[in-house]
A = this chain, B = another copy of it.
Amino acid sequence: MQTRMRPTTSDIAREARVSLATVDRVINERPGVKTETVNKVNAAIKHLGYVRDVSAANLAKKRRYQLVFVLPDDSSEFLTELIRQINAVRLSISSDRTEIRIKKVAANDPHKLVSQLRKIKRQSVDGVAIMARTTPQSRDAIAELRAAGIAVVALVSDQPSSDVDHFVGIDNVAAGKTAGRLMGRFVPSNIEKGKIVVLTNSIQSYDSLNRRHGFDEILREEFPHLNVLPTIEGHGNTERIYRALENTIKNNQDIVGIYSLSSGNRAVTEFIEEAAISKKLTVIVHELTEHSKNGLRDSSIDAVITQHRGQIVRSAIRVLKAKSDKTNFDMDQEQIRVEIVLKENLAN
């Protein structure tokens, strides 16, 4: 029961009674082959179950995948971790004919983004993963990239899906709904009426909006006794959020929960630990970071909704490669899951 070798192009040539050159022409869709002959070859390919040896092909082609991650230049915990993951992958697949570069672009300057993307377009890049806010400028620049034959995926932050080849990240409405369900069920059921504080870095972000929509929908439909307050915008300013929280709690007697839509939850955990020890609030935040992990561990946070950064990075790479090769990929595998993390399933 010797392992049957995989058929090679020579086997096909023999089977189809043509020369290697013709097989090559057919496989690589080069012109100058009669339809009849093409069919003969394809039949042989099918019959023998031939699958092109991609690594040999890439070797022959000197194929190297040039991928670029375009990221905002802030230094949030989320981003730091994302970059850590990119670098981890970079090392582990350096032997995989894949080169990954990271370009940081000023987060709130659409023009910088555009010029960076233009620059990328002029280089021999195969794929770009972009994490950036959607602006008219970014949409145009992305369209240019794609027109130049460069694969583009949106990372985490949702560009309109029609603009990119693929979106790598979670369904934020579903994430919000998940948070809503947890909030509704975690808040003690003996209370008759309660208010939920919602925080975010930027109200403008689509991600935050979608999460909020999902959250509101579930609470409205299934937990109508809980009243969701207007979103407080923090702009990444810890102290500001802290004071806003303080104010809100002071002005509202019946706050029972806090929902933080974006990462950067330092203010929340600090507040919980210092100010609100008297009343037990249910706290749900987004994105697993060192801070939110600690929050889970010391029970100041009840649940974290997150997306696995390693999975995101690897998925983006797989998709970019596939798009660049014009091969299919397994949608199922590339589905980024909305993950729920409690103290108990916090790995490590």
Contacts and interface: CB of A to CB of B under 8 A. Distances in A.
A3 B66 contact: yes
A124 interface: yes
A342 B185 CA distance: 12
Interface string A38-67: 000000000000011111101100001010
Interface stretch (A27-35, A104-112, A186-194): A186-194
Given A55-B59, A55-B96, A337-B339, A178 B332 contact: no
Interface string A231-245: 000000000000000
A88 interface: yes
A162 interface: no
A112 B3 CA distance: 23
Interface of A: 1, 3, 6, 51-56, 58-59, 64, 66, 88, 92, 94-97, 99, 123-124, 171, 174-175, 177-178, 180-182, 185-186, 188-190, 214, 218, 302, 308, 310, 314, 330, 332-333, 335, 337-340, 342-345, 347
A157 to B, nearest CB: 19
A181 B344 CA distance: 8
Contacts of A58: 55
A128 to B, nearest CB: 15
Nearest to A218: B344
Contacts of A56: 55, 59
Query: Which of A99, A340, A344 neighbours the largest number of chain B CB atoms within 10 Å of its CB?
Result: A344
Query: Which of A88, A92, A99, A175 neighbours the largest number of chain B CB atoms within 10 Å of its CB?
Result: A92
Given A59-B59, A188-B189, A332-B310, A182 B342 contact: yes
B92 A344 contact: no
Nearest to A59: B56
Given A53-B95, A55-B58, A178-B342, 9 more contacts: A3-B66, A3-B99, A55-B59, A55-B95, A174-B345, A185-B186, A218-B344, A337-B345, A340-B345
B344 A174 contact: yes
Contact of A343 (B64, B181, B189, B340): B181
6 contacts: A3-B64, A54-B95, A88-B330, A177-B344, A308-B337, A340-B342
Contacts of A314: 333
In the complex, the 5 A-B pairs of residues with the closest C-beta atoms, listed nearest first: A55-B55, A338-B345, A177-B344, A340-B340, A190-B190
A153 to B, nearest CB: 18
A186 B99 CA distance: 47
